[in-house]
Every structure is written in structure tokens, then in C-alpha cells.
Structure 1
Amino acid sequence: MEEIKLVSEESGVRIDAWISSRLKEYSRSYIQKLLNDGHVLVNGSLVKSNYKIKSSDEITVQIPEPEVLDIVPENIEIPVLYEDEHVLVVNKPKGMVVHPAAGNYSGTLVNALMDYCGDSLSSINGVIRPGIVHRIDKDTSGVLVVAKSNEAHEKLSLKLKDHDINRVYVALVHGIIREESGKIDAPIGRHPVDRKKMAVNTNNGRRAVTYFKVLERFKDATLVEVKLETGRTHQIRVHMSYIGYPIIGDTVYGKKKDKYDIGGQALHAKTLGFVHPVKNEYMEFEAELPEYFKKLLEELRWDK
């Protein structure tokens, strides 16, 4: 374990902010993690991240050895929409899990990224989620941005937190939506009974806002464009179900069985736009609808 010794020359500044201003190669969130894990000592004692430093404090920062990652790089083809030394934008296929978890330690986007990028992925989210700034569900396809540098990761995370990333989806839902557009503003939290599910939860949910616009109506289905203001887990799926138009193929929040055998929800992350975290230029990327989605639309048009 590496130890870095520092001596403060000022007072009244939060220790996490002060250390990150001195050790610029580490993000503030990483410094906070070191503090929470007991790897920062002030005059030989543990402190919390909100500790205000005093002049002449002797500060020891312990940098643990990197964890050995047991996730195996796999040569899985992923469509790359853009790449530079800071970010990678990919079109995630339907059916691919974003990062390893219990029951899915191979075949994930992270396995593919580790093979494609080697060591060029940010380390902020730890060994299981290198480079992963945000996620889309396993059976949702579409555009995803990956951070290759820690600087890019931190800035992109702030943009997500500030709702400063343009995310537009296309979804096919059961039922005919009569309105041309609408806004769903309903808090989302854990389902009160089924803890594996999310739900509109006014007691302990977090604010969630979704906008939708009708693109096309069919005999018993509607194609909608959906724009996220917030990014809660399963937000689009929960919100569309909440207003009575569950996404076709979504057996968790919609019909347990339906006549469309597509193996998961008909939801596609079509557009992702953001200001580049280093170049400060606005960039926008689009992923074409996957073949299964196009085929389903053709069938619905024939059946009008």
C-alpha cells in the first residue's frame, strides 16, 4: 500500500476537497471512498470526509493496491459509434448485461470492453464496473457512453446528476395513447412488496420525470418517443406501466404473456447527446432500431 504524507497550510476547508486539490490524479469521489474506508489519517486518527482541516495538520493518505479483477476479457463484438482517448460510445445489443453481477460474470458489456480497451477504462466505479457511467437494462438496446479516463468519468457523472445529458428512447407500448404528448412526474422507489421491482412510490421514492410523444398508432399499440429528465432504475418501464400503457414484451411491469414473442421489452435508447467532458463540444449519437424492432413495426403496420 502506497502512503502519501501531506501537511496542511490552511484551515476550514473540507478534507476531501483539500486532498483532491493536492492529488489531482485522483477524483474527489475516490478520495471520499478512501476516507470512508479508513485510508486517511489526520495526526494519526481517522476522520470523516466532512472534517475541516486545521493549519499544520499532518495528513496520511493510504492508496491501496488495485484489486485483481476476476472478470475475464472476452472478444465480443460491440458496435462502436465513437471513440477517443476519453470516451467510447457504443450501441449495446439487446440481451447483453452491462456489467457483471451474480449469475452474469461473462458475456457482459464490461467483458467486451476489457478486451476492446485493455487498461484504458476509468477506475472510479471499481473493478466490477470499469468505465461504466450509466446503464441500460439487459433487454434494452441502444446508445451508451463509456468513460476511458477518470476525468471523463467524473464530469459525465456530474452531467447525469445535473440532468445535462440528452437521452431519447423509442418504445412500443400496449394500447392506443390518445394524447399527442405528455409528461409523467411520479416518484420511483423500491416496490413495497417485491423488492426486486421498482414502482411509483410516494412514500420513499425519488423524483422521476418522463416525457413522451406519440410517433405512430396501430390497432392495439402505440410507438412513442420518450425523453428522460431523470434516470431512475427501470424509469420508462415503470412510468409507462403506471399510466396504463406498459411496454410490449415487458413481463415484469406489463403483461406476463402477450402475443409478441420478442424476448424482452421493446425499448431502444435511440439518441444520446452530451458536451464532451474534455473537449467541451456538444456531441450527439444515434443508434438505428434493431432488426427485431423494425420487423415488429412492419407486422403492426400490416395489421392496421
Structure 2
Amino acid sequence: MRNNSKPSTPQAAVYKVEQEQTLLPFLLQAISKSRNAVKGILSRGQVTVNGEPTTQHDKLLKAGDRVEIMTNLAAKNDSELSGLSIMYEDDAIIVIDKEAGLLSMAAKDKKEMTAFSELSAYVRKANRSNRVFIVHRLDRETSGVMLFAKTEEVKKMLQDNWEESVKERGYAALVEGKVRNETGEIISWLKETRTFKVYSNPTNNGGQKAITRYKRLQMGAQYSLLELRLETGRKNQIRVHMEEIGHPVAGDKKYGASTNPLKRLGLHAVKLTIIHPVTKEQHTFISDPPSSFYKKSK
């Protein structure tokens, strides 16, 4: 593989494929960026193969193929964002990778920077009338994949058909203690009190039914790393369910944690699989968990 030295335009770089391989590994070799950054470039449609745009990370490349990577205005604007990066964008939706510490949207302090305010400013650079709409939220200290709509109509389509639109939501959680079972399922009914804390009940108490499935990835002396899949999307569901099984999320004092090894909540939204509200195509967005999650659970 080699760079064809001069880009075909001032905002593109062209690479020639010298041996058969899939696209994502090729891009990781071609440009000096992190795996998540390269996935973002690919998801935003900045990559073409032989002149054809593609977002398919496992697309097979053959010797002689021509791969072009656009460094367009969207990429420039993305670099100016703080606390998040754009994983995918089209006329209907924006998918971001949110950092821990960034609010989804403002609560009390309207001046505080949020994912919503950052994206609002970003889309208005192209057109002052452009807007974004929150489809679902992540807690301030939870990082990872988050979905926004670009029109109120698209937001309504996604929220009104959430169970059909969202095929999978996956998380990684660093939890306290040794989780002995390799896999498990937690089913309970959740209710929120006036103090905004959610409580779990093993039987139907009129609350919302919540189902969380987990798989143990690593187990150390003090912490375990779990892969979690939500069958329902209730407020604080994972945090409540982890407390319920005696393994609260690290750093989650509100729901039973006594330690804070990461100086943040040990929860990361790894995977979101959706049916696109307009094209009806299935898209999967993946954000790798922070390396600290693995280090602390060894």
C-alpha cells in the first residue's frame, strides 16, 4: 500500500490498494488516527472506493483499487467539537461518540456546554435554520454512542417506534466485586421516587418492566467487566440492576458503589443498532470501551 503522493483535490487523499484486504484495516494503516476516528470518517461517507462512496467497513478491496478519503467541511467542523465526535451523519440523523462528563442536554444551568448545544452550533454552521433533536439520553458520566435526529418528524418516528427502530443497545460496565456467573439475566419492575432515584422490585408493582442481560468479559481481584444488552430502555436501568445483583457500577455512589477507580461512572454505550427511519436500512454503530475499563478489571 502506498500514498499516491498528491491528492486529487485539495480536500482529498488517494491511496492505491496493493493486496486484497478489507476496508477498515486498510484505512487504519493508511491514516494515523484512532480506530474510532477512522470509523467516524468511514461512517460519515468520506470514503470512496473506485469513485463509489461506501460506509461498509468490511468491504473487500482488491489489488489495484483506488481508495479516496475526503477531508471535507464536516470533518473540519467535527474537529472543532468538544466532548464528542461524530460517528455518522446524513440528512436525517447524527450519531455521536460522547465523552464522560458531558451532559446530554441542559438542566439547571442553561449556559453549560452539552451534547445538544455542541451539535446545534455545528449544524447551524451550514444553515442557521438547521436544528437537532435528542432521541435518547446518556447520563453525564456515561460515555459512548448517542443518537440525534435532524428534524422533529424523524425524532417522532424514532421515539414512537423505539422498539422496532432500535434492534440492539449494548453497554460495557466496570462493576465492583467478582461476578461469579459468566452470564445472567435480570428482570424487575422499576419505579422512580420524588427524589429522582429509581428502585427495583422483583414483582410487578405497577412500575416499568426492565430486562438486562449480561456476559462477563473479565474478572479481577476488585472489579469485573461486563458486556450488557438492554432488552428495555428504562431510566438508570443498568445502574439499578447492577446494584440489585450486588455489583454496583464503579463510581456510582447513588446506586451503591463504594469506590471510584476511574474518577467517573464505569459505564460506556458500546453499540447501537437501528433501522434508519428514512432509508429503512440497518446501521450498527460501535464505540470501543475505554482501555481503563480493561485495566481495572484484570
The TM-score with structure 2 as length reference comes to 0.67
Give the aligned partner of residue 281 of structure 1: 281
Q: CA deviation at 1:76?
A: 3.3
Per the alignment, residue 265 of structure 2 pairs with 265
Secondary structure at the counterpart of residue 139 of structure 2: coil
Change (3 A) 1:77 1:210: closer
* Maintained 8 Å contact 1:81/1:91: yes
Specify the code of the residue in structure 2 equivalent to 1:298: K
Equivalence map 1:153-302=2 (5 Å): 153-162=155-164, 164-191=166-193, 195-201=195-201, 202-255=204-257, 257-258=258-259, 260-290=260-290, 294-301=291-298
CA shift, 1:166, in A, is: 1.1
Q: 2:94 matched to which residue of 1?
A: 88
SS of alignment partner, residue 165 of structure 1: strand
Q: Using the alignment, how far apart are the partners of 1:169 and 1:92 within structure 2?
A: 13
- The answer to whether the Cα contact below 8 Å between 1:163 and 1:229 also exists between their aligned partners in 2 is no
Question: Is this contact kept in 2: 1:97–1:104, CA < 8 A?
Answer: no
Letter in 1 for 2:156: E
Q: CA deviation at 1:245?
A: 0.9
Match of 2:105 in 1: 99
Amino acid at match of 1:115: A
Residues in 2 aligned to 1:77 and 1:238: alpha-carbon distance in whole angstroms? 26
Query: Is 1:90–1:144's contact at 8 Å kept on the other side of the alignment?
Result: yes
Secondary structure in 2 aligned to 1:252? Answer: helix
Q: For residues 102 and 198 of structure 1, do their structure 2 counterparts lie closer, same or farther at Cα, with a shift above 3 Å needed?
A: same
- 1:200-222 per-residue CA deviation (whole Å, 9 max, x = no partner) reads 14534211111111111111221
Per the TM alignment, residue 177 of structure 1 is displaced from its structure 2 partner at its CA by: 1.5
CA deviations 1:77-126 (Å, max 9, x no partner) are 520000001000000110011011113542111110111112333xxxxx
**Any conservation in 1 of the 2:268–2:289 contact (CA below 8 Å)?**
yes
More strand by share: 2
Give 1:300 deviation, angstroms: 4.1
Aligned counterpart for 2:145 among listed residues 143, 146, 149: 143
Q: Distance in 2 between matches of 1:100 and 1:299?
A: 31
Instruction: Tell whether the 8 Å contact from 1:142 to 1:268 is kept in structure 2 after alignment.
Output: yes
Deviations 1:42-93 (A, max 9, x none): xxxxxxxxxxxxxxxxxxxxxxxxxxxxxxxx96352000000100000011
Query: Which runs of 5 or more residues in structure 1 are unaligned?
Result: 1-73, 122-129
Structure 1 counterpart of 2:14? none
Could you list the runs of 4 or more consecutive aligned residues of structure 1 that deviate by over 6 angstroms after TM superposition? none
Residue matched to 1:152: 154
Distance, in Å, in 1 between the alignment partners of 2:83 and 2:222 is 36
Question: How many angstroms does 1:252 deviate by?
Answer: 0.6
Is the 2:225–2:297 Cα contact (8 Å) retained in structure 1? no
User: What amino acid does structure 1 have at the position aligned with 2:289?
Assistant: L
Q: Is the alpha carbon distance of 1:204 and 1:115 closer, same or farther for their aligned partners in structure 2, counting shifts above 3 Å?
A: same
Paired AA for residue 135 in structure 2: V
Structure number, greater radius of gyration: 1
What do you get for the CA RMSD once the two structures are aligned? 2.0
So what's the TM-score if we normalise by structure 1? 0.65
% identical equivalent positions = 34
Native 8 Å contact 1:272 1:285 kept in 2: yes
> Does the CA contact (< 8 Å) of 1:92 and 1:143 recur in 2?
yes
